[in-house]
Every structure is written in C-alpha cells, then in structure tokens.
Chains A and B, each alone.
Chain A
C-alpha cells in the first residue's frame, strides 16, 4: 500500500512537472518598457570586430556614463546562447553579435528584436549609406534584425613574391585559379589552400559555386541542385584543387587554412575578407609583407547570376532587454560613420558603408575595401532558411569524404542530393 502511495505521488508530481516543462510560456513579442540603463551587456565572439567594439565601449562609457559589459562566447555557441537566453525568459544580454548565416535560426526563434522602427527614426545612423545588397543581408523575411558590424565578402589572397617570381597574375576566373595552382605546384609551392574539413568545406564550395552561376537549392522550389551539370562541374573543380592543398587544410577548418597561408608556401586562396587582418599581422603571419588582395574569381555560363557570397557579423538587440533604446543608442553610435576609422585601426573589418569603401584614406589602409565595396553592391548571402545549418553540415561532411577518398564524385553528389532532399521534405519546404 505504502509503495503504491509513494508511486502515485511520484507519478503525480512527475506529470505535473512534465506538463509544466512541456508548456513554455508564450513569447512576449511586445516591446519592453525602457528603463534607464547604466549598464549594457553585449554577447560577443572573439574576433577583430569584437575587439573594435570593446575599444569603442571605453569611449562610450566616458561620454555617456553607460558601462558596456562584454561576455565572450565561442562562435559555434553564439546562436544557442542567444536563443536559449531569450526562450528561457532570462535576461542575460542586451545586444549580441551574430553571423548572418545563423540569422534564420535565431529569427525563427523570435530571439532578435526587429530594428526597422529604430532605423526609420534614426537619421544620424544613415542606413541609406549601405548598399541595398547589404541592407538585404541584415534582413530575414523582410525584417531587419541586425546592424552590419562587419562586411566580409570573399576575396582572393595571393603571394605577391611568388607571383612575381613566376610571372603570374591574380586569377579572374576559376580556370585561371587552377592554372596558377599548377604553375605554383610545379615550382615546389602549394598551389592552393581551401578548408576541406568536415565542418566547413561547404562554405568554400559555395564560394566557387555562387561565383560560377550555381546555387545549392532552386530559389523558388527549394529543390536541391546537386544533380545539375553546374554543381557537378564546380564540385569536380573544387576537388581537383585538393592535390595542391596543404594536408592540414584538407581536413581542417578556416583557421587551419589561414594558418597554412600565413606560415607555409601557399600561393593563393579565397577567404572571407575578415581574415585579412590576421594575415597582415606580422605577429601571426610570416607573409604579412608579401601578399596581395584581389577580387573573387568569377565564371559565367551558369543558370543563375554569378555573385559573391556575402558574410559578416551583425549586431542585434534582445527582444527581452529592458534597455532596448539604450542598446540601440550604443549600437548606432558604435557602428556609425564617425567610428569607422576606430574599427579599421583596431584591425577589424568595418561595415561596408558606401562612404567607407570609396574613401581613399580607408582603401589605402585596407586595400581589400574596394573589392568589399563591389561585393556589397552585387553580392548576396546563401539561402536563408532555418535548415541551412543542417544543409551545410551534410555537404561539408560529404565533401570531406570525397576529398579524403572515401567517396567518389558520383557517390558524393548522389548522397548530397538524397540527404538534402530528405532534410527539405521533412521540413515541409520541398515536395520531393
């Protein structure tokens, strides 16, 4: 009898707790009443952009008396922290740095405050100074969720000393990239470096695909495109460059690739422009004085426009922050026109305002800014759907399998097509 009683009590308690746990409170979408702020908390990830923000924060505190507290989170955990903080109803941050690539997930979880009203009312921030492509980059389904903290389209980095020795020119097409890789390799150097690792390789394949007029998914129907000629040709070319790549990049991440370029005899690579400051820093790079920057190679002939893939950090505001106006004031001030130089001096890639990328002083200091300006005008992000992270993961793992000889090109392409179809059908985004 006692056992039964105990069991019944335990069951009742468990059920109650489970029901309570299973019924999350409704997300309060109404704007919070603003309280006067004497401190703001900003979630950041270690990056030159975060360093730039930190340096500006000191000046902001001196001017306004508002203290800016920075909480550093590993890049991969940023979306999780932002989402869980807001969904749990615990106010742990007022502002957060996030990657445009993760915006679909964060916005779908209602973990970011729409900023369109603030933008409409703040003339000083001058949002019209940003190219339209970049304004689109900060939007999800037509709503702006972040202010551009950095603009990092893909640029080409090459070794000026090696190119001079061998009489090479920076490539303007992907065929020329392969040609340069051949010449560099014949001279005993690494002809190429791209990260073919299981977590990131899809990003580098995408650079080549989108700039060759291909897409991962059909923009209208979301049908995976890995059974098309253009995707196959690009994949074949992408994998053909593995033999010119240092071993550490064949299985590594972006940092391994940049490390290889900075420390080894690698002739060329393409990377997000944000890596420029790392390669140009003599304390981290042996090639700081001997590398140049050029536009991303482009190919025509694909079914879609050939474009540069836009990357970059955004700065958003928590919908549960009690200091939303104060958070906006800091963000708009820090990322305003007057502080561009402070970002550049801190080694951070600045947000690509038109007034920045056309400023001679700035482009002299950061030679890649001209290429950034072009890319910001014409570039676009990859597909912005919540399944993107899963799609990137599947493609990256499969590319890594092909790059390390576990799968043939045919097997790999078929696997990606099947896996992506399953993901999109399960999500109800594609009819199959």
Chain B
C-alpha cells in the first residue's frame, strides 16, 4: 500500500529538479513564515521598547562614556567596581530597602483598612472613594513640592500645628524624620492604588465562608486573619509585587522633598543613578547603577511573572 503524497508536496524524483526538501517540510515552512509575519510586529515592539534599550544599557555599563570621552571605550566591569561596589551604593541601597519595607507596610495596612471601609458600602462611600482616589491622579512632582512646603520648618503648616502641641521637629534635618516624610508622601499617593485593588478583590470573594466563620463565632480579626486574607492572597501578592517594584524605583518624591538629604539619608539608588547620569554625565556609572538595581529586583520580577503566569 503506497501512501498518496500530501497535497502540495513536490515530487523529488522528477528529473531535472534539484529540490531536496522532504515532502512534508515546505507547507510547514510556509506556515511558519506566515506565523512569523503575524508575530513579527510584537517582536519588533519588544525589541524596540525592551531588548534594545536594555542591551544598550548593558553596553553602556561596560564602556566608559563621559562627556570628555564620547566615543565609548570598553572597560569591562570597571564601572561596576567604581559605582556599584562602593559604600555609597550600599548606603543608597539600604535607604531604598527602608523605603520599600516601610512603604509596603504602611500602604498595605492603610490600604486594606480603607478597602474594608469601602466594602461595607456605608452611606456616602461613593463620594469617599472618589475623594480617596484623588492623590493617585496627581503629578508626583507637584505632590512632592506641596509636601515640601507643608513641612517647611519656618513657614509650613505642619510646623504651626506642631507648635500648638509644643513640639519642635525639623523633618528635613533629621534622617529618621526625613525618611518617614518620604514614606508618607509615597504612601499618601499610592494607598488609593492598594485600596482600589484590594476592594476589587473583596467584591469577588464568596460570602459563604465569611458567613460560616461568623456562625462559628469568629470575630473581625479571626475572620480577616483566617478567612478573608487567605482568599485575597492572589490579589494581595500581585499588588505587593507591583508596589515593591514601584517603590524601589522611587525618585520624584525624594527629588522634590528632601533632595536626598539630610546628607545622604534619603538618597535612593535611582537618585544616585540620576546624579551620575544627568548631573555628572558619567553615563557608564549611571547605567551600571541602574542595572545593579534591576538585577537586585530580579527575584521580584521573576515572582511576578510566575504568579501572573505571563
């Protein structure tokens, strides 16, 4: 029994033909090329906005690119040695981690509580939700400058309020208070984001387990701890990862409120990269610092990709 050649297959035994493509390959090749045509726009997009800039940053971090040396010379890991493996970078990384940890705790606790309040749908909750979302819509630089003026130690409203209670504290001169100020500004702007996602997650929760817990005599805390939070876990984890990456890149609020001070107490890694690149024009150093932060954050990206199954 001989199998008939598939449609479109070429008879390789015909005299005068040098084509040695196996019978079943050509349609597959055509199909592959057609598929390539369909996916190529997205590949071009990924190349343009992802791979090329990243590759260029890697290249920059391995070359000496300054104003006085505009033609890049390959210097291996020198930029990393000079800009990343330093006490200054370690300090900036420490500051960034403080912002990430303090910011996440603040934003999740406050955001969750606000989401619970919204979820109760008490009278006026729609107006409250609208008002609570306003900070998220504002420009970070404007927010930073406003808070900076509010905390002006001579003329700011916070100073006046502190004075009523006999408190005298210069938030911009004390390292701990200055860091707290940055966390507060960032949290004020981003708590609504957390609240929104958690509230959305809550609306999709089934009522039965919560009612069962109530029947079993569980109070608010036990219901939250053992029923609501486990069910909200996927939403919480994704929100946490998004905020984690966002806070690690914090820049505008620091730039407009403390300028990295007092001293270097609020100097984050991104501010360090900005200074190297745009103030000192040491492009190689700036790229090395930015890539080091990206590498440090890689486990978070990895987790995010795994959890969202992208």
Contacts and interface: CB of A to CB of B under 8 A. Distances in A.
B56 A108 contact: no
A229 B215 CA distance: 79
Contacts of A382: none
B70 A24 contact: yes
Interface residues of B, number: 41
B67 A109 contact: yes
Interface in A57-91: 76-77, 80, 83, 87
Nearest to B83: A426
Contacts of B308: none
Nearest to B275: A393
A386 interface: yes
B157 interface: no
A198 B70 contact: no
Interface string B254-296: 0000111111110100000001001111100000000000000
A250 interface: yes
Given A10-B43, A14-B55, A264 B259 contact: no
A198 B275 CA distance: 13
B51 interface: yes
Nearest to A426: B82
Contacts of B56: 18, 21-22
A364 to B, nearest CB: 34
A393 B43 contact: no
Contacts, number: 120
B165 interface: no
Contact of A27 (B47, B63, B70, B280): B70
Interface string B85-110: 00000000000000000000000000
By secondary structure, the B interface counts as loop
Interface in B62-82: 63, 66-68, 70-72, 82
B55 A251 contact: no
A206 interface: no
Contact of B51 (A14, A198, A397, A401): A14
A78 to B, nearest CB: 11
Contact of A250 (B43, B173, B260, B280): B173
Given A14-B55, A198-B262, A400-B263, A247 B281 contact: no
Given A6-B36, A22-B72, A251-B172, A198 B260 contact: yes
Closest 4 CB pairs of A and B: A401-B263, A198-B261, A247-B153, A251-B172
Interface of A: 2, 6, 10, 13-14, 17-18, 21-24, 27, 76-77, 80, 83, 87, 105, 108-109, 197-199, 246-248, 250-253, 256, 259-260, 263-264, 386-387, 389-390, 393, 397-398, 400-401, 403-404, 406-407, 426
Given A83-B281, A247-B153, 13 more contacts: A2-B32, A6-B43, A14-B51, A17-B52, A77-B278, A197-B261, A199-B260, A250-B153, A251-B262, A393-B279, A403-B262, A406-B262, A407-B263
